[in-house]
Amino acid sequence: MSDTLKNYITAISAALFLVVAGSGLAMFFGIGEDLVKELHEWLAVIFIVAIGLHIVRNWGGMKTYFRRGTIIAPVAVAAVVAAAFVVPAALSGRENPMPVLFQSLEKAKLEDLARVLELPADSVADILEQKGFVVLSTDLSVSEIAADSGRPPMAALMTIVEAKRE
């Protein structure tokens, strides 16, 4: 490992942690998921590499964690929490239904989506137009409106849902 990398690997790991954590929280709270998902995934891979290099760089300290056994509880807790999410999903044999649901919402005509959300179609069109979307007709799908506006369909959906919450 080069001296430059040795000198910066902790700082690189910390910076990647901040970005991956921030984008993960954004996705968790449904804020700009369409904007940060790919960033989150790629930087998470780079973060894993950086953490691996950080562990190699600080192996002397890591040996202390193993020798004292202080690493056992955190690793066990993380494994149990991960298993609580992964195992039931794996055993059910079912995939996450959310992508299918969102694809259906994106393909829905604006007037149909408005009806599901119990909003007047014209007010949904107005909401989108106020946020810069081009709505030529409420007979168009959310995907078509987003494409006409040069924006991702999820941005249109989130705009509508946010307005519904208000």
pLDDT digits (tens, 9 = 90+) for 87-102: 877 777 777 677 778 8
81 alpha carbon, distance to own chain's centre = 19
Please tell me what DSSP assigns to residue 57: H
In a domain, 7, yes or no: yes
In a domain, 127, yes or no: yes
Model-wide pTM > 0.85: no
The predicted pLDDT at position 51 comes to 92
A 10 A CB-CB count for 119 gives 15
Mean pLDDT of the chain: 87
| Mean pLDDT calculated for residue range 155-159 | 87
SS3 (DSSP) at 109? strand
In a domain, 63, yes or no: no
Looking up tokens 């979307």 gives 133
Q: How many domains does the chain have?
A: 2
Between CA 7 and CA 13 the distance in angstroms is: 12
Residues, the chain: 166
